[in-house]
Chain A
Amino acid sequence: MTHTHDITRRNFIVGTAAAGAGLTLGFYAPLGGTAPLAAEQAHEVNAWVVVKPDDTVVIRIARSEMGQGTLTGLAQLVAEELECDWSKVTTEYPTPGQNLARGRVWGSFFTTGSRGIRGSHEYVRQGGAAARQLLIEAAAIRWKAEPAECQTAASVITHVPTGRTTTYGAVAGEAADLAAPFDVALKDPKDWKIAGKPLPRLDTADKVTGKQVYGTDINLPGMLNAAIKACPVFGGTLKNYDEAKVSRMPGVRKIVPVGDDAVAVVADTWWRAQKALDALPVTWDFGPNAKASSTDSAQTLRQGLEAKDAYIGNRAGDIDAALANAATRVEADYAYPHQAHATMEPMNATALWTKNKCEVWCPTQSGEAALAATARAAGLPRSRCDVYKLHLGGGFGRRGAFHDFVEQAVTIAKELPGTPVKLIWSREEDMTHDHYHPLTQARLVGALDENGDLTGLRVRISGQSIIASVMPGRMSSGADMFVFQCLAKGGDHAISYDIPNLLFDHAMHNPHVPPGFWRGVNANQNVVYMECFIDELAHAAGKDPLAFRRKLLSKNPKSLAVLDAVAERAGWDKPAQAGVGRGLAVCKAYGSYVAACAEVSLKDTRDLKIHRIVAATDPGVAVNPRQIEMQMEGSFVYGLSALLYGECTVKEGRIEQQNFDSYEVMRLAEMPQVETIVMPSGGFWGGVGEPTIAVAAPAVLNAIFAASGKRFRQVPLKNAGLRPT
C-alpha cells in the first residue's frame, strides 16, 4: 500500500467532535483557542471521520442542511464505505475557517444547484473508505496480522483466520496516527447496505421538541440584538435619521448606519430594537430607481420579445425555413414574475468582532462565501475569521450566493467591539430586500407540418439575467447561458425534445430589482414556457399531448421512461372523471429526468381544485429514496405556491408585498395528493431538491386547459382570478 503523509491532520481541533451535531454551546465557546473539549476521547481518523471510544462515529458534513436531507444522505455515503454502526452515527459541520486552514480538505461548502450530494459523493465516499482502511490497518498492527485478512461490519473488525475482533472505538487512536492511504476502491452501489436505503433523517429529534438551535435562537453571553431597515428602493441610500427620538426608548444601546443604505438599532432585546427602529424617523435618498414600476418593466420586456439583438443559446437546422414552410404556425407569449424566497426563518446572523478576530454564527448555504463576507466586512484576513454554521430554517437559494445579512451583522458588531450582536431581519425587511426570482417573458413560435409533426420551434426569452447581476465573471461574451436552463443543447439542463429546426435566444433586460437563485432557478419559467407551449402545439395538431411528446422523445429514453411512468400511474389511457382534466410536463433539470401528471378541475372559471399530482424522477443514483420522496412533495408545494400566488410587484422602485398577508403561499388545505415515483436507472448522479419543482406548474396549467379549455400564460394564477379550493 502506498501512503501520502498528511501532516496537518493531527493539528485539527478534534474537540469539536464532542459537541455532537456541532450545535451545542461547546462548539460556540472558543473565543480564542480554548482547550478543545475532551480532545483525548475523540480521535480524528481522517477529515471526514471522528471515532470515540464507545464507537460513536462523528461524520463531518461540509454541505449545509436546510431541510433537504443532504446531511443524512452524505452521512449514509460515508458510513457505507466506513462500514460503521449506523445507529451510532452523529454529524458535525467543520467550519470554513478550518477548511481554509487545512487546504480545503473538505472541498466546497456550496449547497446550491441541487449539488450537495452529486457534487461531493465521490470524495466523501473515499473519505469513509480511507478511514475504514486506517482502522483495519491499526487493528492489523496490533495483531501483527495482514490488513487483507481483516473484515469489517458495523464498526467491528474481525481477523478472519483467528476470529479475533476489536472495534473502531478501540483502535481509532492508533488509526489516527497512521498515514492516509493513497488510493481506495469504492463499492458498487448495488452492494450498498446503508446508502441507497430509505433511512430516517438524522436531524429530526430536536426539530420536534423545539431544541434545534437556529440562527435566530443563538444566545451568547453579553449578546445584544439588532434590527435593521435598508432603503426601501433598491439602489437608494440613507440620508439621515433622528437618533434623539428613540435613543431613550427601553433597552436601546446604539443606533448605527450600516453601509450606505441602511440603519440599525441595537438594543438588549430584538423586540425593543425593532420597536425603536419602527419609531426612528429616517430620510432616504431614493436614487435613480424611485419611479420604477412593474408596469414599466413589463413594457420593456414586451419590446424585448421583438428586439433585433439577442444572445443565442441553442440553434439547430434552419428555423426561418421551417416557419416559412409550416402547414400550421402557432404563436404564444408567456410571462413569469419576480418572487420572494420567503424562507420561514428570516435572514439573520450573529457577529462578534474584535480588532484581531471576527466570528459569525449564521444559517448559510455556503460557509465559505459567508466567511469571505465576514472577512470583507470585518476588515480582517479570512484566517482571522470564522463562521459557525447552523441548520437553516429554509434556504431555497436565498442564503447561498448572498450574504448581505452577514456583512450587515459584522458591520454592526464592529461598532461594539467584544460584544456579540445578533441581527434578525423582520419579515417585512426580508420580503422587501430579497434577491428575487428573475423577471422574464417569452414568445414561442412553432411550425407543424401537414402531419401535425413539430418541424421547428423558436423561443425568444426577454428579461433578467441572474448571472449578469450576481456572477458577471461567468458571462460568456456578454451572454448568460444559464438563462437557457432546460433549453440547452446538452448537459444537466438539456432540452428533452428532438426538434430538427430550432432557435432559442435571449434579449437581456435587467430591471433594478436584484435577481437571485430561487429553488429551481430558470428551470421554473422555462419549463412553463416549453411544456405549456408543447401542449398548445399538440392541441393545434389535433394530437394527444402524451403521444405528441412521446414522438419528440424517441431519442431520449430516460425522459420517455419518467413520462410514461407518470402517465401510466395517472391512468392516462382511461378517461378522467367528468370535469377533471389531466396535464403533463417533462424535463431534465440538475441532471435528473423528471415528469409530472396533474389532475385538476375548474368550477365557475374561478375555483381551482388540484386533485392529484403524480411525479416521477430518475436521479440516476438514489441515496435515500425516502428523502427524495419528501423533496418531491415539498417541491410541489413550493412550485404550486409560485404558480397560484407568487408575485412581487414593484411600485415607486420598491417591492409592494411586505408579509404573508400580501405575499400568499400555499397552505395545507390546498395541498393536492402527491404520488411520487423514484426510479433511479443508475450510472449517473442527478440532483434532487430542485428538478421536480419545474414540472409542477406546467403540469397543472396543462391540466387546467384540459379541464376547461382555458389557457393561462401568466404566473401567478391569482391575477386571473383563480383560487384554489
Chain B
Amino acid sequence: MVKLNVNGEAVDLDVEEDTPLLWALREHLDLTGTKYGCGIAQCGACAVHIDGEVVLSCALPIDSIPKGAKIVTIEGLSPKGDHPIQKAWVELDVPQCGYCQPGIIMTAAALLAKNPKPSDAEIDEAITNICRCGTYARIRQGIHRAAGRRV
C-alpha cells in the first residue's frame, strides 16, 4: 500500500512500488489528463507538479516519492480550468491535437510560479516538451500573455 497526496486528497494505492507515478495516476486514480508519450523522460507529456516542481511522472517510481509530497496534476491545476496559463491557451487557441498540452501547461504553470515574467530565453530553457503538431509559437505567446496578467 502506498500513500500519496494527489490534488489535495490523500489516497491509498495497492500497486507495486516500482509503478511509475504516471500509470498510478492514469490507471489507479483515473486521472487520465496526464499523458504517456515516451516513457523515458523525453517528451514531457506526463509532466506533473510535486511540491511545485515539474516532474516527469513516467520515469518516477512511486516508492521514490517523499512522504507527504504534494502531487498536482492537470486536473488539479485550477478549480475551473481558469489558471492564467489555461485562459491564455484558450484565447490563443494554442492546442491543436492537444495531446501534449496537459504536460506543457503544467510545465508553463510551474515556470510562471517561479518566474512571473520569463524572458524568451527562459521560456526556451523551461519548455523542452515535444509537441508534434508544432504549437510552439503560440505556447511562447501564451506564456507571455499569462505572465503579463499576473499581479
Residues on A facing B (Cβ under 8 Å): 66-69, 200-201, 203-214, 216-217, 219, 225, 250, 269-272, 342-346, 391-396, 424, 426-427, 626-627, 630, 633-638, 641, 659-661, 665-669, 671, 673-674
Q: A208-B90, A626-B93 are in contact. Are A214 and B137 (CB under 8 A)?
A: no
Contacts of B5 in A (CB 8 A): none
Report the Cα distance A674→B136, complex, angstroms: 10
Chain B window 23-51, contacts with chain A (Cβ cutoff 8 Å), 1 for yes, 0 for no: 10011101111111111101101000000
B4: Cβ under 8 A from any A Cβ: no
A671–B136 touching, CB < 8 Å: yes
Knowing A216-B35, A394-B132 touch, does A630 contact B96 (C-beta < 8 A)? yes
Does the CB pair B96–A345 fall under 8 Å? no
Answer whether residue B9 sits at the interface, using C-beta atoms and an 8 A cutoff: no
- Which residues of chain A are within 8 angstroms of B26 by Cβ–Cβ distance? 217
**A633 engages B40 (CB within 8 Å):** no
> Once the chains are docked, how many angstroms separate the CA of A343 from the CA of B99?
9
- Tell whether A208 pairs with B105 under 8 Å between CB atoms, given A200-B93, A271-B23, A637-B131: yes
| Bound Cα distance A396, B96 (Å) | 12
Q: How far is the CB of B85 from chain A (nearest CB, A)?
A: 8
Contacts of A427 in B (CB 8 A): 36-40
Residue B139 lies at the interface, judged by CB distance under 8 Å to chain A: yes
A204-B95, A427-B38, A660-B43 known; A270+B124 contact, CB < 8 A = no
Q: Is the CB of A638 within 8 A of B134?
A: yes
Shortest CB–CB separation between residue B10 and chain A, in angstroms? 21
Determine the residue in chain B with the shortest Cβ distance to A201: B93
Q: A209-B81, A668-B129, A671-B137 are in contact. List 4 more A-B contacts (CB 8 A).
A: A67-B133, A200-B93, A219-B30, A669-B125
* Any A CB within 8 A of the CB of B128: yes
Contact with A along B117-145 (1 / 0, CB 8 A): 00000011101111111111111100000
Shortest Cβ distance from residue B46 to the other chain A in the assembled complex, whole angstroms? 11
Partner of A211, one of B33, B93, B99, B139: B33
Distance from A225 Cβ to chain B, minimum over Cβ atoms (Å): 8
A667 touches B89 (CB 8 A): no
A696 → B minimal CB distance (Å): 10
Alpha-carbon distance A145/B140, docked complex (angstroms): 56
Chain A to chain B contacts (Cβ below 8 Å), 24 pairs: A204-B90, A204-B98, A208-B86, A208-B101, A210-B74, A211-B33, A216-B35, A216-B36, A269-B28, A272-B16, A342-B132, A343-B99, A344-B132, A345-B37, A391-B97, A393-B35, A393-B99, A394-B99, A630-B135, A638-B132, A665-B132, A668-B128, A669-B124, A671-B140
Bitwise, B11-28 to A at CB < 8 A (1) or not (0) is 000001001100100111
Residue B53, interface by CB 8 Å: no
Partner of B97, one of A200, A345, A346, A666: A345
B32 in contact with A393 (CB, 8 Å): no
Q: Which among A69, A216, A394, A668 is the interface contact of B140 at CB below 8 angstroms?
A: A668
Instruction: Give the Cβ gap from B30 to chain A, nearest Cβ, in Å.
Output: 7
CA A635 to CA B45, docked complex, whole Å: 20
B138 x A270 contact (CB < 8 A): no
Shortest beta-carbon distance from B36 to chain A in Å = 7
CB contacts (< 8 Å) of B136 on chain A: these are 637, 666-668, 671
Of the candidates B35, B37, B81, B127, the one whose C-beta lies within 8 Å of that of A668 is B127
Name the contact of B43 in the complex, choosing from A69, A204, A207, A344 (C-beta under 8 A).
A344
CA distance A21 to B125 in the complex (A): 37
CB distance from B96 to the nearest CB of A (A): 3
Q: Which residue of B lies closest to A344 (CB)?
A: B99
* Inter-chain contact A69/B102, CB cutoff 8 Å: no
Contact of B134 (CB < 8 Å), options: A225, A345, A635: A635
Shortest Cβ distance from A200 into chain B, in angstroms? 5
Task: List A contacts of B30 (CB < 8 A).
Answer: 219
Residues of B within 8 A of A627 (CB): 93
Measured between beta carbons, the chain B residues less than 8 angstroms from A666 are: 134, 136
Residues of B within 8 A of A673 (CB): 137
CB distance from A392 to the nearest CB of B (A): 6
Q: How far is the CA of A209 from the CA of B80 in the complex (A)?
A: 8
CA distance A168 to B129 in the complex (A): 45
Taking a contact as CB atoms closer than 8 A, the residue among A269, A345, A674 that contacts B35 in the complex is A345
Asked if B32 contacts A219 (CB within 8 A), the reply is yes
Q: Which residues of A contact B127 (CB under 8 A)?
A: 667-669
A393 to B31 alpha-carbon distance, docked (Å): 17
- Chain A residue with Cβ nearest B135: A634
A210/B33 contact (C-beta < 8 A), A204-B93, A250-B16, A394-B133 known: yes
Quote the shortest CB–CB distance from A343 to chain B (angstroms): 6
B75 CB–A CB distance under 8 Å: yes
B38 touches A393 (CB 8 A): no
B6 within 8 A of A: no
The CB with the most chain B CB atoms within 10 A, among A203, A212, A272, A627, is that of A212
Minimum CB–CB distance from B35 to chain A (whole Å) comes to 7
- Contact residues in A for B124 (Cβ distance below 8 Å): 668-669
B residues less than 8 Å from A396 (CB atoms): 132
Q: Complex: how many Å from CA A203 to CA B74?
A: 17
**Is the pair A207, B95 in contact by a Cβ cutoff of 8 Å?**
yes
Q: What is the minimal beta-carbon distance from A449 to any residue of chain B, in angstroms?
A: 42
> Taking each of B75, B101, B133, B135, which has the highest tally of chain A beta carbons within 10 Å of its own beta carbon?
B133
Nearest-Cβ distance from residue B84 to partner chain A, whole angstroms: 12
Q: Are B99 and A271 in contact (CB under 8 A)?
A: no
- Nearest-CB distance from A675 to chain B (Å)? 10
In whole Å, how far is A511's beta carbon from the nearest beta carbon of chain B?
A: 25
Assembly CA distance A225 to B23 (angstroms): 12
CA of A395 to CA of B20, assembled, Å: 27
Bound-complex Cα distance A212 to B35 (A): 11
Chain B: minimal CB distance from A725 (Å): 11
Contact A392 B35 (CB under 8 A): no
Which residues of the other chain, B, contact A204 by a CB distance below 8 angstroms? 89-90, 93-95, 98
Q: Which among B40, B98, B128 has the highest number of chain A CB atoms within 10 Å?
A: B98
Tell me the bound Cα distance from A31 to B134 in angstroms. 38
Pair A212/B98 contact, Cβ less than 8 Å: yes
Within the complex, what minimum Cβ distance (angstroms) separates A670 from chain B?
Answer: 8
Q: What CA separation (Å) do A636 and B130 show in the bound complex?
A: 14
Set of chain A residues within 8 Å of B40, measured between Cβ atoms:
427, 659-661
* A674-B137 in contact (CB<8A): yes
Cα A396 to Cα B131 with chains together (Å): 13
| Residue numbers in A under 8 Å from B39 (CB-CB) | 426-427, 659
* CB pair A270 B32 closer than 8 Å: no
Contact A633 B134, beta carbon cutoff 8 Å: yes
In whole angstroms, what is the CA distance A213 to B30 when docked? 12
Question: Does B100 reach chain A (CB closer than 8 Å)?
Answer: yes
Chain B residues numbered 50-93 whose CB sits less than 8 Å from any CB in chain A: 73-75, 81, 86, 89-90, 93
Among A69, A200, A204, A211, residue most surrounded by chain B Cβ atoms (within 10 Å): A204
A665 to B100, CA, bound (A): 14
Query: Are A67 and B96 neighbours in the complex by a CB distance under 8 Å?
Result: yes
Tell me whether A271 and B27 are in contact (CB under 8 A): yes
Residues on A with beta carbons closer than 8 Å to the beta carbon of B43: 344, 660
Q: Is the CB of A270 within 8 A of B73?
A: no
The distance from the CB of A474 to the nearest CB of chain B, in whole angstroms, is 28
Taken together as a complex, chains A and B put the C-alpha atoms of A633 and B75 apart, in Å, by 28
> Residues of B contacting A271 with CB < 8 Å?
19-20, 23, 27
Per CB-CB distance, the 4 closest pairs between chain A and chain B, nearest first, are A210-B33, A637-B134, A393-B99, A67-B97
Q: Find out whether the CB atom of B98 lies under 8 angstroms from the CB atom of A68.
A: no
In the complex formed, the residue of B with least CB distance to A673 is B137
Please indicate the chain B residues that have their CB under 8 angstroms from the CB of A342 in the complex. Answer: 132
Most buried by A among B20, B33, B123: B33
Query: Inside 8 A of B129's CB, which chain A residues have their CB?
Result: 667-668
Smallest CB separation, A63 vs chain B (Å): 14
With both beta carbons as reference points, the residue of chain A lying nearest to B88 in the complex is identified as: A208
Asked if A660 contacts B38 (CB within 8 A), the reply is yes
Give the shortest distance, in Å, between A363 (CB) and chain B (any CB).
9
Are B81 and A634 interface neighbours, CB within 8 A? no
Collect the chain A residues with CB atoms within 8 Å of residue B42's CB. Answer: 659-661
